[in-house]
Amino acid sequence: MNVEIEATWKENLQPEFDKTYFKELVAFVKSEYQSTTVYPSGKLIFNAFNLCPFHQVKVVIIGQDPYHGPGQAHGLCFSVQDGIPFPPSLRNIFKEIDNDLHIPIPKSGNLTRWAQQGVFLLNATLTVQANQAGSHQKKGWEPFTDAAIKRIADEKEHVVFILWGAYAQRKADMIDKSKHLILESVHPSPLSASRGFFGNHQFSKTNEYLLFHKKEPIQW
Query: What's the rounded Cα separation, in Å, for the pair 205 and 133?
Result: 32
Task: Determine contact, residues 215/158, Cβ cutoff 8 Å.
Answer: yes
Closest CA to 61 of 145, 179, 177, 178: 145
Is 154 known to be catalytic? no
Task: Determine contact, residues 146/138, Cβ cutoff 8 Å.
Answer: no
User: Which helix (H) or strand (E) covers residue 99, if one does?
Assistant: helix 88-101
Catalytic residue among 65, 82, 98, 100: 65
**Secondary structure (3-state) at 38:** strand
Query: What's the rounded Cα separation, in Å, for the pair 67 and 113?
Result: 19
Query: What's the rounded Cα separation, in Å, for the pair 129 and 3?
Result: 21
Task: Determine contact, residues 23/1, Cβ cutoff 8 Å.
Answer: yes
Query: What's the rounded Cα separation, in Å, for the pair 11 and 27?
Result: 22
Residues designated as active site: 65
